[in-house]
Amino acid sequence: MATINIAQPKPMVMADLKGKVDPDWCPGCGDFGVLAAVQKALVELQIPNHQVATVSGIGCSSNFPGFINTYGMHTLHGRSLPVASGLKLANHELTVLVTGGDGDGFGIGCGHFVHAMRRNINLTYMVLDNQIYGLTTGQTSPTSRIGMKTKSNPYGNCDTPVNPLTLALSSGATFVGRGFSGDQKHLTELIKQAIQHNGFSFLDIFSPCVTYNKDNTFQWFRPRVKKLEDNAEYDSTNWIVAMEKATVWGDEIPIGKFYETNDIPTLEETEPVLEAGPMISRDLYIPADVAKKFVEELM
Amino acid sequence: MSHTFALGIGGAAGQGVATPGDIFALILSRRGLHVNAYNAYQSIIRGGHTFLTIRTGVDKVENLGDGIDLLLPLNQDTMDRHLRLLKAGGACIYNADTIKPGAAADGVQLCALPVSTLADISRNKVAQNTLALGAALSMMGVGFQSLESVLKAQFGKKGEAVVNENAGIARAGYEYATANFKPFAKPLPMTEKRYAVLSGNAALAMGGAAAGVKFYAAYPMSPSTGVLHWMAAHGRKAGIMVRQVEDEIGVVNYTIGAAHAGVRSMCATSGGGFALMSEGLGLSAMAEIPIVVIDCQRAGPSTGVPTKTEQGDLWQMLGAAFGDYPRVIAAPLDIGDCFTLMPEIFNVTDKFQCPGIVLCDLLLSEGRLSVDPELLNFNPPIDRGEMITSNGDAHDEYLRYKITESGVSPRAIPGIPGFTHTVSSDEHDENGVLISDEYTNAGKRRAMMEKRMRKVQGIEAMVPPPVLEGPPDADVTLIGWGSTDGTIREARALLAEQGITANQLQVRWLVPLHGDEIVRILGKAKHTIIVENNFSGQFARYLRSETSFVPNGNIRKYDGEPFMPHHIAEAVREQLAGETTLSVPTHEVMV
C-alpha cells in the first residue's frame, strides 16, 4: 500500500487551509490568533496540507482541527499526544501538529505530556493556554493562579499552578517555547521554528479566554510579555539558562524560544524498524523465510 | 480420548520448574507427540508454589486432564500437596536427601534418587532437577539421545562444558532409574509428526503478525505480557513497530493513531488495563478507525488474582465504553485458535471500521499447546476493506462519513492529496464536521447513528454462527464459550464411557451472537447446561438477554483454576439426576 504524494501544482495559500466551517469560538477568543498563526506558518513553510495531520484532544481549543484544512483528528480529552504519536510512528513522513488546552494537556493528559517528551518523537505540540476550563463554563485549570476565583473554586484556587515550561524542560522536550496569541508575527515565527525543529517541540501559547478568565486577559498579558529574541545575549541552547528563565513570572513574562537542542536523535531516527521507510508503506505479509524461522523456533 | 501421559513438576518459584518443563515439552514434540501444558503459579518471583502440568499423547491433547502419572516434586511442599493425586501405575521421583515421601496410594512407585551420591550438588544447584529429568525419561521409555540433543539446544549458548556437565548429570539419573526403578507400563509412543509448541500469547502475537499488524503497543500486565514479549523479541525481524508506553490509556490511543495512519494496529492487556482502554474503544467506534484489542482475562475484580484464570470479563467487553456502537468480540477456542482468529477478526474490523476484541484468558495465554506447524499460516487472506490509498482521479467532495447502505464509508488515509478531512470523537456530519456544538441537529445525529449501526447486519453476515458438535439426539447439550472447548469435549468422552451421551455448542464469536440460530439449535436439545469459568454465569445472562433462552442448568467455577474434565462430567451427572441446577465443582488439586 503506497501513498502517492503528488506536489500541488500551485503554491499553497491561506485559503487552502480554511476549514470546512468557521470557528465557533467566542468573539475575541485568543484561539483565533493561534489558528491564523498556524495557517500562516504552514503557508510560509509551504508544507502541503495533505501532508499535515492536526490532532487535538477535547476542549474549546481542541476543536482546532475542524477549522484548518489538513488531515484532522479530534480525539479524547487528554489523549491527543498518544494518538498523534501512534499516527506519526506509523507514517513519519507526515507533519504532525498537536493542539489542545491547558486542562487537556496539563490536567487529564499530563501523564502523556511527560512521556511524549521523553520519547522525542518529531511532533509539534501547541497548548492554547487560557488558565481556565472554557468549554465546561469556567472552572479552575492546572495553570490557574493561586487565589483565582472560578465556579469550581469560588473562594479561590489553592493548588500551585503547573509551570508547563519547566515541566517540559525537565521531561526532555528538545524544543521549548512560549507564545502569545496577541502577538501574531512573533507567534508565527515561533510556530515555524517549532515545526522545523527535528524532535518534540512544545509551545505554551497564551490564548486568553474572553468569557471566563477575567484575570489573564489580553490587556493583562500585553504589557508583561517580553520577547527573548530582543535579548541578543540569550542562549537558547543552554538548558540551565532556559530553566531559570522559565521560572520568571510577574511584571515580566518572557515569551519566545527558551530552549532548543539538536543533539538528541528522534525516536524515528533511532528506531531500526523505520529504516525501511514508513510503516504504512510495508508489505502486509512478512517475508516467508522470516515467518518460517518464527515457526521453527517453536519446534 | 486416546491414551495420554501427564507429568507434574512442582516447586517454589525460582527453583527451576520452567527449565525441565521446557525440556520435556521439546522432547515430546520432537517425538511427534502432542503436548498441553499449564503452569499454576502465584504472583511471586521467588518462593510460593508453582506446579507445571504437561500432558502428552499421540492425538491432540485438548486439556490438562484429570490426573497425573508422574510427579517430580522439587521440594517437600510439592510432595505433600500432590502425592495423593497419583493413582496405581503412577510414580514419584524425588530427592531422597531432602524430601520425605508421604503416604502414596497402592501401586504408586516411590522412586528415591540419592542425589548427593549421583551428582556434585555443591557445583550444580539444579542437579536434582536434571537427575530427575534423566530418571523420568528412562522410566518413560525415551532414549537418552533425545535428551542429550535437547540439552545441547538448551545450554549450547553457555558453552560445551555446561552442556557436558548437564548431560553427565542427566545420564547418571537416567542410568540409575534404568537399574533401580520400574518403567511405566506403556512406553511413550513415537510418531513421524513434528509439532510446534507455543503459548497462547505467542500465538496471539504471531497471529497478529500474520494478519499484517505493523504497530503494537502495550503496557505490561499479567497474563497478557507474553504478547508484548513475543512482539518485542520479533518486531524488528517481522517489521512491526513495538512500543511500551506509559499506561493502557496511552496504549489504546497509540493504537488508534497508528490505525488511522493506515496500518493494522493492535494491543493486548488484561481486565484492569482494558478498563482504562474503554474510552478509547468508543473513539475507535465513533471515528470509525479499526483496531483490535486483546483481553487476556484473569480472575477479578480489581487487580484480583493476577496469576489465575477466569472468564469474568464478558460483560466488561459487552459494555465497554458508553453509547451504542458496532463491535466484534471473539473468544479463541484453544491456543492454535489464538493464531487463526487474528487474521479473521482483523478482516471483520477493517471491513466494518470498528473495534474488535479478542477475549482470551490466562489458561490459553500462558498455557502451552502443540500445533501442526501448517496451522501457523503466515499467508492468510487479508481484506483491508474500503480504503483510499491513492488520490487517483478527480472526485466530488470527499465525505469521510458518507451515509451508505452498508454503513461503511470509504476510508482515506492521511497523506493523500485531495482527501483532507477530520475524523472525530464528537458526533459529526458526513464530512467530519462536528455537530456537537452550535450545529447540533437531531436529524443528522440520527442519520449518523443509524449509519454506524447498519454495520451490525454486515458483520452478522460475515461471521459464522456456532455449530453443534456431537450426536444430535444426545442426553445433554453442553454450552461453552472460548477456552473451555477442549475440556468440555473430554468431559463428553467421560460421560459417554458412563453411558450418557452429550453434545456441545461452543461459542467462538460472542458479538455478533447469532442468537436465532443458537435458540434453534438449543430448542431441539433434551437438557441444556451452560459451562463457564465465572461466578454469575456471564454468558448465560448474555444469552438470556439476547434471546430469552434459559438453560436447564449451569456449571460454574470461579476459584481461579480451569475446569478439569471430571468436574464437568460429575456436575452433569448430578444435574441429570435432578440434584441441582447449579454445580460449582471443587478444585481438588491444591496449587
Read off the CATH number of the domain in which A88 is found: 3.40.50.970
Sheet holding B47-57, edge to edge: B109-113, B91-95, B70-73, B4-13, B47-57, B34-40, B368-371, B196-199
Please count the structural domains in chain A: 1
The length of chain A is 299
State the DSSP string of B370-418: EE-GGGS-SS------SEE-S--S--S---TT---SSS---EEPTT-TT
H or E element that contains B91: strand B91-95
Which grid cell sits at B276? 482504562
CA dist B587 and B591 (Å) reads: 9
pLDDT in tens, B379-403: 999 999 999 988 876 678 899 999 9
Domains with residue ranges and CATH for chain B: 4-180 (3.40.920.10), 200-375 (3.40.50.970), 386-463 (no CATH), 468-583 (3.40.50.920)
Q: Which residues of B94-121 are buried (b: 16+ CB within 10 A; e: fewer)?
A: bbbeebebeebeeebbbbbbebeebbeb
User: Who's near B262: CB < 8 A, 6+ residues apart?
Assistant: A1, A3, A90, A91, A280, B387, B389, B413, B414
* Per-residue confidence band for B64, with pLDDT thresholds at 50, 70 and 90: very high
The answer to whether the CB atoms of B433 and A21 lie below 8 A apart is yes
User: Which chain B residues are Cβ-neighbours of A56 within 8 angstroms?
Assistant: none
Averaged pLDDT of chain B: 95
Can you give the pLDDT at residue A1?
44
* Per-residue confidence band for B486, with pLDDT thresholds at 50, 70 and 90: very high
Residue A3 domain flag = no
Please state, in angstroms and as integers, the Cα–Cα distance from residue A264 to each residue in A41, A112, A237, A276, B33, following that order. 25, 20, 12, 21, 53
A15 to chain B, any CB pair closer than 8 A? The answer is no
Are B534 and B524 in contact by the 8 Å Cβ rule? The answer is no
Q: Which of B29, B240, B422 sits opposite A72 (nearest CB)?
A: B422
Radius of gyration of chain B (CA): 26
Q: Label the pairing between strands B34-40 and B368-371.
A: antiparallel
Give the number of other CB atoms < 10 A from CB of residue B383.
12
Residue A162 domain flag = yes
State the DSSP string of B128-154: HHHHHHHHHHHHTT--HHHHHHHHHHH
Residue A6 domain flag = no
For the cut 90, the answer to whether the pLDDT of residue B328 exceeds it is yes
Low-confidence ranges of chain A (pLDDT < 70): 1-9
Q: Which residues of A32-55 are buried (b: 16+ CB within 10 A; e: fewer)?
A: bbbbbbbbbbbbeeebbbbbbbbb
Which grid cell sits at B309? 484464570
3-state class of B210 per DSSP? helix
H or E element that contains A257: strand A253-260
Can you give the pLDDT at residue B17?
84
* Per-residue confidence band for B13, with pLDDT thresholds at 50, 70 and 90: confident
Residue A115 domain flag = yes
The one-character DSSP state at A180 is E
Are A182 and A104 in contact by the 8 Å Cβ rule? The answer is no
Interface of A with B in 60-79 (CB under 8 A): 63, 65-66, 69-76, 79
Please state, in angstroms and as integers, the Cα–Cα distance from residue B359 to each residue in A102, B90, B508, B511, following that order. 37, 37, 9, 11
User: Which chain A residues are Cβ-neighbours of B415 within 8 angstroms?
Assistant: 3, 5, 50-51, 71, 91, 93-94, 280
Please state, in angstroms and as integers, the Cα–Cα distance from residue A137 to each residue in A26, A141, A212, B89, B252, following that order. 12, 12, 7, 77, 29
Residue with grid cell 545575549, as numbered in its chain: A233
Which grid cell sits at B226? 507474553
| Terminal-to-terminal C-alpha distance of chain A | 33
User: Which chain B residues are Cβ-neighbours of A65 within 8 angstroms?
Assistant: 422
Are B443 and B412 in contact by the 8 Å Cβ rule? The answer is no
- Shortest CA gap B238–chain A (Å): 6
Which grid cell sits at A253? 513574562
The answer to whether the CB atoms of A285 and B283 lie below 8 A apart is no
Q: Alpha-carbon torsion B366, B367, B368, B372, what sign?
A: negative
For the cut 80, the answer to whether the pLDDT of residue B589 exceeds it is no
Strand partners, B71: B8, B92
Interface of B with A in 359-418 (CB under 8 A): 373, 376, 378-379, 382, 384, 387, 389-391, 413-418
Compute, in degrees rounded to 10, the torsion defined by CA atoms B434, B437, B440, B444: 10
* Structural domain of A243: 14-296
For the cut 70, the answer to whether the pLDDT of residue B239 exceeds it is yes
> What's the ipTM?
0.97
Can you give the pLDDT at residue B591?
59
For the cut 70, the answer to whether the pLDDT of residue B563 exceeds it is yes
The answer to whether the CB atoms of B415 and A79 lie below 8 A apart is no
Q: Which long-range contacts (CB under 8 A, 24 or more apart) does A219-225 make?
A: A221/A180, A221/A182, A221/A253, A222/A182, A224/A250, A224/A251, A224/A252, A224/A253, A225/A180, A225/A182, A225/A183, A225/A253, A225/A254, A225/A255
Can you give the pLDDT at residue A205?
98
How wide is the angle at C-alpha B383 spanned by C-alphas B379 and B388, nearest 5°? 130
Q: What percent of chain B has pLDDT over 90?
A: 88
Can you give the pLDDT at residue A2?
45
Residue A8 domain flag = no
Give the number of other CB atoms < 10 A from CB of residue B396.
5
B318, with CB counted inside 10 A (0-12, 13-18, 19+), is middle
Residue A7 domain flag = no
For the cut 80, the answer to whether the pLDDT of residue B2 exceeds it is no
Residue A2 domain flag = no
The answer to whether the CB atoms of A74 and B425 lie below 8 A apart is yes
Residue A5 domain flag = no
Cis before residue B223, ω within 30 degrees of 0? yes
